[in-house]
Structure 1
């Protein structure tokens, strides 16, 4: 009797977990919709990526709920197949929407010419005609893998191109995707049919798998929150120019302009080195603790070393850019300051080529998307 009661309790908890998983996935989608809404109001960044990611998770949530309904409720085989197809089609719509946006957003990098989206559409169109073939369960598994592979690769890309705390959080979200995939796989009919040949009671295994899914979703939510995801993953679009300044000589060592058109609205931006020298004179003596200057609709972010100061002119403040500024400042002063120790201007000019080459390597490492 106790065993029957425990098994019944596990099944009831497992059914409750179905709703929890669906609601938590929906919450992830709403998080990205919120990011989209906030950035859309500011009109400073392309927010379509966040919108499509949110839609992807919302459709995944609805499709997952339909999927759970087909497994744990007594319905006829015909209705079961229809619900399975409905679940796949709902989730597939989210995949297609997200795939289109990703291929548009990364068209210069991926150069896939919508081949990924077209492949997803072809698969969705063919699935209803493949129900009766022996390998249909394998096709469904393949679709599920594809569905979770796209955000997995998406997250890996941004892990490679973010830094510091943001990179760590995105790594946690990637672990969450893996756990979610593992958990959902162990709830599929395919798994039940295979393992059911060896284990008579699968309720406990399915219960654990759903618990793993919930942990994975919790990791996802943690990894995607606590910062502006859209702002941080588009940090390069915020960077207007980068400068390294010799605070002792009040002179520019290195500068790189990423968006020249942004530097025409004021004397600071059009004056180049001379204007930057004015900035040095103003802020390196009495106000050395100043690390951000609000300048019109832009920001000047400053980082101080022992002998140098690095500065970025940015549209929006991000944790990624602050991390990069600190790293470049530390790296340059530790590794390349010996080039600048000689105060003789003639010798300094002779070393300029080596200086710019060395700094260029640092800039290439941190400020170029992989």
Structure 2
């Protein structure tokens, strides 16, 4: 076990955050550099919920030692840093909180994973949870145990919504909130990083930056990353029991927010597929496919109206419309600082 005191001047920490856009905001008094597991948490203007997230990590039922790397992505306000410091200084969790001065979803996630790999050279498994999520007590143990048993490069698990407005429980069936899979086992790919485990070997194979900065304000850098993992022949496993819950505020259950979410999903789909296309002809095919799906989506949405609520039935149409807009260069930017809603 390699323990170092962390007075913020330790050379190991300085080396890990050599990027001038990053600085350490808080750290635990002692860090075990030999830990094999690191949990990464991008943070942005949700200090009250971050406390719940960190409480859930501090209460994990596992004999395994792990560290946390939190990234404060609001360099001006820094509301998350004091909460992070509270858990680190008191020893409830070990690790660091750093400030990423470049704002945006991909900047924050890259800062977390890159710092975790640099600061903890013995770590081979890196998990991620968002600052509006709560891990179930056995989450970390189940995710790591799955990675050990299957040898998967990437492990995913469900993120289940908990609605502040309990009047619409049926929204949990909406594709914007429903997990990709409902079983435990090998899967072709996962799509989001809100509940994931990624091996160091996976990061090494894809190089840096892991999350493409072209997705920084649109979102979908995780979908692009996992698509590249799949195309590189990596393996995925889903652990349905490793549950994380996500708090969904009332403003994210409105018709307009859900419609915009569908548009964003469509834009991400187009961006990921267009990027993966290897030639001008392949990109032209992606363009044609996305435009061609729009009339088909109208038919599908009309059929869904017979068995689903309108807000669910409209989803295929909104996704297709978002892809069509993106094909002509029109994309939403929900991760710009003044517009962040998720």
TM bucket, shorter chain: under 0.3
Return the TM-score normalized by structure 1.
0.24
Query: Which structure exhibits the higher relative contact order, with contacts defined as CA atoms closer than 8 Å and separated by 6 or more residues?
Result: 2
The structure with the greater share of residues assigned to helix is 1
